[in-house]
Amino acid sequence: MTTARTIAHLGPPGTYGEEALRDALGEQLALETLIPVETNRDVVVAVERGEADVGFVPIENSVEGAVTETLDALVHDAPGVMIVGEIVWPVHHCLIAANGAELGTITTIASHPQALAQCAHFINEQLPAATRAPKVSTAEAVRVAIENGAGWAGIGSRVAAETYDGQVLAENVEDVTGNRTRFVWLAKQPLETGWKGTTNTEQSKTSVVFSGFNDTSPGALVSILSEFAYRSVNLSKIESRPERTQLGHYLFFVDLDGSIDEEPIAHALDALKGKVRELRVLGSFPTFEA
């Protein structure tokens, strides 16, 4: 690809998303314009409004599950945006503070809520009296912690420590070995690039969301999902979110192994159209695991 694009991602500089994004772009990084924004929703909306050509956001973590902010934004705020690629990225958390700080002096730990949850055992064991301070991103948490100085620490990436000139007090503080996050590329049309997660053809995935069936009736969801089972289409994920109409009604997000161009998946989705009020294909895309 020779045309430079603008790419929105969760900021500020030093997030895991930026770390994964920079690796995915490789040599192409020098030709692209990265736009850090405040929230994952802002990334999705930037692509929808044409303020960015491409978005890069987390959608699921192996420990904490779905990133609901991303899912909700795709459905409710961005009807023209699709998922066009996926990267699975390893997450290694560090406890970071201003230079000269010591572990025993930390009284406040800042980070994104998911990162705090992913390091709960370490915090409870090593700093049980510390106050948790949620922030919009791990990088922002590290920036604030270093700026505040004495008594503060942030949980974030080693890149964040380098970005804000901080000190790593402890590394690999995540509770679960193998902590990984799925990031997705967003755009209004497929991307023809060499970026990781956009051109790998060995593995592919299709993401859909549906709603509007008799979901109070016993076996109704089974009837929907059986359209995939009958055709031997594997479901790698199913997630429900409130439909935002009335209590007890939900949107169902489903990930299918394979491409929409494959006959079993295409036929299953055609069958679903006759059973639900709304069905949207969020994307059919290649996947890459770092």
Encode pLDDT of 137-162 as tens digits. 899 999 999 999 999 999 999 989 99
Is CATH 2.40.50.180 what the domain over 94-171 is classified as, yes or no? no
What does the pLDDT look like over 167-176, one tens digit per residue?
999 999 999 8
Q: Which of 15, 138, 181, 193 is catalytic?
A: 181
pLDDT, average across residues 167-195: 93
Q: Quick one: residue 258, left, alpha or beta (phi over 0 = left, psi -120 to 50 = alpha)? A: left
Tell me the C-alpha distance between 225 and 211, whole Å.
12
User: Is it true that 6-90+179-187 and 94-171 share their CATH fold?
Assistant: yes
Provide the CATH number for the domain formed by 6-90+179-187 in this structure: 3.40.190.10
Domain boundaries, the chain: 6-90+179-187, 94-171, 204-284
Instruction: Tell me which residue has tokens 């960015």.
Output: 52
Known catalytic residue: 181?
yes
Tell me the C-alpha distance between 244 and 125, whole Å.
40
Whether the Cβ atoms of residue 88 and residue 180 lie closer than 8 Å to each other: yes
Architecture of the domain delimited by 204-284: 2-Layer Sandwich (3.30)
Whether residue 196 has pLDDT greater than 80: yes
Amino acid 3: pLDDT = 66
pTM comes to 0.86
Q: Which of 70, 138, 163, 183 is catalytic?
A: 183
Known catalytic residue: 122?
no
